[in-house]
Amino acid sequence: MANYLPSDINTISVLPEIALLVFGTVFLFLKKNTPKLPRLLSSLSILTILVLLIFLPLFWNREIIGFSGAIYRSNPALVFQFIILLAALLALIFSADFPVDNENPGEYYFLILVCIAGMSLMVISRNLLIVFLGMEILSLALYILTGFFRKIREGMEAAIKYFLLGSFSSAVFLLGLAFMYGATGQTHLDFLHPAIKTSLDKLPLLYVGVILIITGLGFKIAAAPFHMWAPDIYEGAPASIAALLSVAPKIAALAVIYNIGMVLNLFTPDAFIAVIITMSVASMIIGNFAALKQSNLIRMLAYSGIAQVGYILISLTALPQGGRAMLFYLFVYIFMNMGAFGIAVLLTREKGGKVSIDDLVGLASKRPLLAFAMSVFLISLAGVPPTGGFFAKFYVFQLGLEAGYLWVVIVAIIATVVSVYYYFRIIVYMYMSENEDRLFIRRQGFSIAQAVLMVCALLLLLFGIISERLLNIARIVL
C-alpha cells in the first residue's frame, strides 16, 4: 500500500500550535462548578500566550521546515505570528472580567486558543491547502464564539450570518485554489513560478484563480465589497470576541495575501494588484462614509476597521518594499484598534448592554484616564501626528506614490480627512459636553485592563517618536 505521509513531518515546526491545542483541550475537562473557574481559565490563557511570546524568538533565524515544505517557520512568519499573539493577548486581558454567565468557560477559552492556533497555521504555511485548513479551524471556532451566549438573540443571529457568509467565502477561496492548481499543477507557493513558466498558455486560468483566492481572503479582512458581515457580526457578538475579530484574523489573512503577492510579483503581478487596488479604494470610501452615520460605538469601529484595511492594502501594491510598511502599520494597528475596542469592552460590561456614542458624553469628567486613552486611540486611527498612526499612514502613502498610484493616494487622503469627523466627534462628546446621568461614573480599585489601555495609549505616542527605528526593524525582518 502506498505511503502518503510526508517523509519529513518534523513536529517541531508546529510545536507552538500543538501547545495551544493541548492547553485548550485541558480547559475543556475542567469541571464547570470549579470555584472561580472563569478567572482561572482567563489567567491560564493569558499565561499560555505570554509563554509563547517569550519562547517564539527561539525559532529566530532557524527557518524550520516541516511536512515536505508545507510548513516554513521563517523570520517573517514569526513576526506575523508574534503580532497575532500580541493581539490575542490584549483581547484576553480586556475580556478577563467579561461575564460568561451560565455557559461553560472551558469551552470559551478552548475556542479562543483554537482560533489562535488556526491563525498561526495560516501564517507559517507555504501550501495553500494548509492555509485553507488553518482558515477553517479559525472560522469554525469564531462562528461558535460569535453566538456563544445562547440567550442573546443578536449573538445567535450574528453567528448564523457569519457562518453562511464565511462558508461562501471559503468556497470561493477553494474554487480559486482549484483554478490555480489547474493552471500550474501546484498549490505550493514556492513552486508556482517554475510551474507557470512551462505553461504560459494557462496564465489566464491562473489570473482567475488569484482573483478568487484574494476575494476569499478579502472576506476575512473585511475589505469592501466583501465587508457586509463585519458591522452586524461585531455588534451581535460578545464585545470581547468583537475585539479579537477586529484585528487578529485580519493579520493572519493579510500575511497570506502578502505571501501570495511576493510570489506573483516575480512573474505576473497584474491581476493581484488590480484586485488589491479595487478592494483598497472601495474599503476606504465605503468604510469612512458609512462610519459617519453610525450611532453605535462598536458599529462605528467596525466601519473604521474596514477603512483601515483599505489603507493597509495600499502597501501591497508596492511589494517587496510595501511589506515593511504593512508590518509597521499592523504593529501600530494592534494598539490603536485593540485599545478602542478594549474601552468598548469595558464600557459594555459596565453598562450591561450596547454602548452608543451618545453614552460617551462627558466621559472625561467621570473617567479622565479612560477618556485620555480613547482620545489617543482615535487620534491615531485618524492619522494625526504625533501618534504612530500618522507615521503608519505616511509610509504607506509614500510607497503608493512611489509605485505610481497617485490617484489611489489622493482617494486615501480624502478618505482620511472624512474620517477625522467621526473620530473627533467622539472626542468632542467626551470633553466638551456634559451629561448628568451616572453612567460610567468613576470607580475605585485597580483594573489590569485599564492599566494596559493606558500603556497602549502611551506606546502609540512613543511610536510617533521612534517610528523610523521601528521601520528599520521592519526592513531587517522582511
Q: Are the C-beta atoms of residues 373 and 456 closer than 8 Å to each other?
A: yes
pTM here is: 0.92
Alpha helix ranges (H) inside 315-447: 321-351, 363-366, 368-382, 388-402, 406-432
Q: Tell me: the pLDDT tens digits for 171-189?
A: 999 999 999 888 888 888 8
What mean pLDDT is predicted for residues 287-315? 92
Give 206's contacts (C-beta < 8 A, 6+ positions apart). Answer: 179, 180, 183, 184, 196, 268, 271
pLDDT in the model for residue 42? 84
**What is the gyration radius of the CA atoms in the chain, in angstroms?**
22
Predicted confidence band at 207 (pLDDT cuts at 50, 70, 90)?
confident
Q: Residue 190: is its pLDDT beyond 90?
A: no
User: What is residue 100's predicted lDDT score, i.e. its pLDDT?
Assistant: 54
User: What's the full length of the chain, in residues?
Assistant: 478
Whether residue 1 is contained in a domain is answered as no
Residue (of 443, 419, 241) closest to 341 by Cα position:
241
Within a domain: residue 191? yes
Answer positive or negative: Cα dihedral of 235, 241, 247, 249. Answer: negative
Type of residue at 126: R
Is the preceding peptide bond at 386 cis, omega within 30 degrees of 0?
A: yes
Asked if residue 1 has pLDDT above 50, the reply is no
In a domain, 42, yes or no: yes
Mean pLDDT of 328-335: 93
Query: Which of these ranges, 109-123, 134-148, 151-165, 321-335, has the smallest mean pLDDT?
Result: 151-165
Classify residue 439 by burial, with Cβ atoms within 10 Å: 0-12, 13-18, 19+.
middle
Q: Is residue 2 part of a domain?
A: no
**pLDDT, tens digit, 9 for 90 and up, residues 53-86:** 998 888 888 878 888 888 888 888 899 999 999 9
Task: Give backbone dihedrals phi and psi of 444, rounded to 5 degrees, phi first.
Answer: -85, 160
What domain range is 389 assigned to? 11-439+447-477
Contact, 144 vs 112, CB < 8 A? no
pLDDT band, very low/low/confident/very high, at 34 (cuts 50, 70, 90): low
Average confidence (pLDDT) over 452-458: 91
Enter the C-alpha cell of residue 428.
Answer: 468632542
6 belongs to a structural domain: no
64 class by beta-carbon count within 10 Å (0-12 exposed, 13-18 middle, 19+ buried): middle
For residue 4, is it within any domain? no
Q: What is the pLDDT of residue 226?
A: 87
Query: Is 461 domain-assigned?
Result: yes
Q: Report helix angle 297-314 to 406-432, nearest 10.
A: 150
> Is there a cis peptide before residue 320, judged by omega within 30 degrees of 0?
yes
Mean pLDDT over 205-213 rounds to: 88
The label of the residue with cell 494598539 reads 335
Grid cell in block for residue 306? 474596514
As beta bridge partners, residue 73 has 64
Q: Rounded mean pLDDT of 277-296?
A: 92
Q: Residue 451: count other Cβ atoms within 10 Å of its Cβ.
A: 12
Q: What is the dihedral of CA 266, 307, 136, 342, to 10 degrees?
A: 130
Please state the domain count of the chain. 1
Q: For the segment 352-394, what is each residue's pLDDT rounded down to a tens digit?
A: 778 888 888 888 887 888 889 999 999 999 989 888 999 999 9
What is the overall mean pLDDT for the chain? Answer: 86
Report pLDDT for 224.
84
Which one is predicted more confidently, 433 or 307?
307
Residues near 336 by Cβ (< 8 Å), separated by ≥ 6? 376, 377, 380, 381, 387, 388, 389, 456, 460
**Is 233 inside any structural domain?**
yes
pLDDT per position as a tens digit, 416-425: 999 999 999 9
Return the higher-pLDDT residue of 148 and 332. Answer: 332
The pLDDT tens digits of the residues spanning 425-454 come to 999 988 887 766 655 555 545 578 888 999
